[in-house]
Amino acid sequence: MASVLFCFVLLCWAAVPCNASCALENITIGIEKDGCRNCVPVNTTSCAGVCLTQAEVYKSSISLYTQLVCTFKEIAYVTVQLPNCPEHVDPFYTYPMALSCQCGQCDTDYTDCGTLSLGPSDCSSQEN
């Protein structure tokens, strides 16, 4: 009887889907602009985490397959002034800051859907 109960509990546990853990995360990015001499580290928020995606066993050419990723739901744009820019270079740089996140399709119109390539270590490796 105990083994039947154990199997039942195990099957029920396996049937419950894993929760997605897509949420805001504090990050530091390096901001730089052509013509300006410095790379400036900036603290901001981005979306990070795992989204539940189930691939269909039968792939149809009629239905499109979309993989869900942790992406922006709401964003705001922040503008910073970079120091040590020559007079002929606009010293202002605008970047997106995540206000909320969701599991959805990555929108390439306003998002780089790859890995963030510029981090705080990129600023420290440059001569200021």
Quote the longest CA-to-CA distance of the chain.
82
Q: Which residues of 48-79 are buried (b: 16+ CB within 10 A; e: fewer)?
A: beebeeeeeeeeeeeeeeeebbbbbeebeeee
- Do residues 31 and 95 lie in contact, with contact meaning Cβ atoms separated by under 8 Å? yes
- Do residues 92 and 78 lie in contact, with contact meaning Cβ atoms separated by under 8 Å? no
Predicted TM-score (pTM) of this structure: 0.64
- Do residues 27 and 46 lie in contact, with contact meaning Cβ atoms separated by under 8 Å? yes
On the question of pLDDT at 3 being above 90, the answer is no
User: What's the confidence (pLDDT) of residue 110?
Assistant: 66
In whole angstroms, what is the distance from residue 113 CA to residue 32 CA?
A: 20
Per residue in 68-109, pLDDT tens?
Answer: 888 889 999 999 999 989 999 999 999 989 999 999 887 777
User: What's the confidence (pLDDT) of residue 104?
Assistant: 86
- Closest alpha carbon to 38 in 81, 88, 5: 81
Per residue in 15-67, pLDDT tens?
Answer: 444 556 899 999 998 888 888 888 889 999 999 898 887 666 677 777 666 77
Question: What is the residue-averaged pLDDT of the chain?
Answer: 75
Measured in residues, the chain has a length of 128
Query: Letter for the amino acid at 125?
Result: S
Pairwise pLDDT comparison (120 vs 32), residue with the higher score: 32
- Do residues 95 and 44 lie in contact, with contact meaning Cβ atoms separated by under 8 Å? yes
